[in-house]
Each structure stands twice: as structure tokens, then as C-alpha cells.
Amino acid sequence: MDERSGLEVASIRGFAIRVDASWFVLFFLILWSLSAGTFPAVTPELRGRAHFLMGLAGTFLFFASILLHELAHSVVARSRGIGIHGITLFVFGGMAHTSEEPHNPDDELVIAGIGPVVSFALGTVFLLLAALGRADGWSPAVYEVAQYLGYINLMLAVFNLLPGYPLDGGRVLRAFVWKRTGDFARATRGATTAGRWLGLGLIVFGAAQALLGAVLSGLWLVLIGTFLRGAAGTAASQHALEQALRGVRAADVMSRDTLVVDAHMSLRDLAYGAALRSPRTTFPVRENGRIVGTLPVSRLGSTPREAWSATPVGKVMSALDQDTSSPPTPRCMRSWTRCGRRKTASCS
């Protein structure tokens, strides 16, 4: 999941908190489940409005618990020198977006382990509050919500400790293998393989539950299993790519004979000049001696042909900012002059 996806709703201790569109689906499903099923079953003496308010409180506090779980990961990661782009709440819970992998197995173990510890602590506190409220005669609307939150946080902690990446338990498994073998790549392969098998197991178990009549919970397990299996496979592929590209510079794989077009060139000159004579589908665009953007040839189709002569390349290009562009190393490029019909060699 992209760390910039979703709506930013808050910032806590410098961590951007975002809500993915899929989160709203889960929010209303939990709200409906608690208001129409869970709380009416345990407090039949209360009215429908009370059940709705209980469901609303339980839903918000459930997601607050998930947020605290992810904040714990983020705070510990930052204390260990690992950058955090933010936290996203989505249909399968929450995710803290780190800028890099842990530096050593001890960091991995502490960062991964703190989440379940916080969930266990929250579960214990909520269950103690429920017991205290029941003993002191509090309203059932209060202690039943606390009891639900206690059990759900304990379940969250136990589930996250399952040994399959990207769950916390999978990261703990990777930390142990990494520490024992000293081989991060081997540890990652083992943890992601375990994650794929765990996802497959949840899919099979969920399908069996659905066939036996527990359709909603069964389908939910199938969805979670599918997500885990996909996330583990993506992590494994990403790690393999990182290993293959380790030590490789952009200059090692770039095309040095790059045809650059001028930002002031008209689209007509580009179409009947550079685009006809080059097999490339995208051209770097230069203005005042520096690369300022790129222009896919397909962009020509979005501009009426009769306007090509009066439309400069710079008007329809995709601009680059300074953070996404790199200074060129000394090299010679072929570039097209504004007329589009004469090539000149220039070094930049």
C-alpha cells in the first residue's frame, strides 16, 4: 500500500495518520455488527439507541487501539533511527510505513514485538475495567463495551503473533533467523514463505467455515488470508529485486544515447521530427540547460492535431521537481533543436 494513499486526518507526534477508502467499509461493518448483534445479545434490557451508542463507542475505541498498536511500532522504529512516512488505517487494520528495513535483528525484534505488547496491555486494562465496573454496579453499557475491547485487543495481539510475514510474528521470526544465521536474505525468505503458507491456511480454514454455515466470518478469513498471502509474496519479490540491484547505480543501467527535446519545441516539430526518428516512447524535456520534465509520445493524442503548431512541449509535459530529478553526469546527448529537423550534439 502506498504510504501517501488515503485521506490524512491527523498528525500525532509527527506521524501522518491517513484513512484509506476501504477503512470506511470495515468501520460500518463493525458498527453494524456491534449495534445489531453483539451488544443487544448481552444487554437485552437496554434500548436500541443505547446499543447504537455502545456500538459507536466500541468501534471508535477498537480503531483507537489499532492506532496505538501502530504508533508503538512507529515510535520505537524512529527511536532506532528508522524513518516513518506515516500510518494508514485500511480494511485489514493498520500499517506503519517505514522508509527502510531494520538495521539489525535486535531492532527488528523490538520494533515488531512492541505492537503485540501494547495490544496485550490494552486488552488487560479493558478487562480489568470491565470487572471493576461489573463489581461496582456500573451501567452494563460501559462494562460490556470495555469487555469487548479487552477481548478484541487480546485477539489482535495473538493474531499478530502468528509466525508469518508481514504480521508482527513473522517479523519476530525473521529477527530470530537473522540473528541465528546472520543472513538477512535467508531470514526474509523464510518469513515470507511462512506468510504465504499462513495465508493459504487461513483461506482454507475460512472456506471450510463458510461451507459449514459461518459464512460471514469464513469469508472474512478468506479475505485476510488472501491479503497476507499477497503481501508476503510482494515482500519476497521486492526483497529479491533489492538484492539483485544492490550495488547497481542508475548510471550503470541508463541509456547514455538519450534524445532530449527542448521545452519550447512545438508538438508538431516533435511529432514530425524526434518522434518519427526515435523508437522511444518518452522524451526528457530540457529548458535552460537542465531537465525539467518528460513527455510521453502518447500525450500527443490528448492535444488536437490542429493545435500542435501552437502548443509547446513544455505545456503538456510531466514536470519534474528537484526532489525527483538527479543531476546528470558529464556525457554527450543527442538533442533536437527547436525546428525539430536538425540534430546537434551537446554535453551536459
The residues assigned a catalytic role are: 70
Sheet arrangement for strand 318-319: 318-319, 290-296, 282-287, 259-262, 332-336, 343-347
DSSP assignments along 218-232, one per residue: HHHHHHHHHHHHHHH
Q: Which of 80, 82, 65 is nearest to 110 (CA)?
A: 80
Q: Which of 135, 113, 111, 131 is nearest to 123 (CA)?
A: 131
Angstrom distance (rounded) from CA 79 to CA 266? 52
Fill in the amino acid letter for 299. Answer: R
* H-only helix segments in the chain: 21-33, 39-42, 48-79, 105-136, 140-160, 168-181, 184-211, 215-245, 250-253, 267-272, 274-277, 313-316
Q: What cell does 114 get?
A: 512492541
Residues whose CB falls within 8 Å of the CB of residue 67, separated by 6 or more in sequence, listed in order: 17, 87, 89, 94
- Cα distances (Å, whole numbers) of residue 304 to 268, 284, 307: 11, 22, 5
What is the Rg, in whole angstroms, of the alpha carbon atoms belonging to the chain? Answer: 28
CB-CB neighbours of 71 under 10 Å: 21
Burial class for 6, CB neighbours closer than 10 Å (0-12, 13-18, 19+):
buried
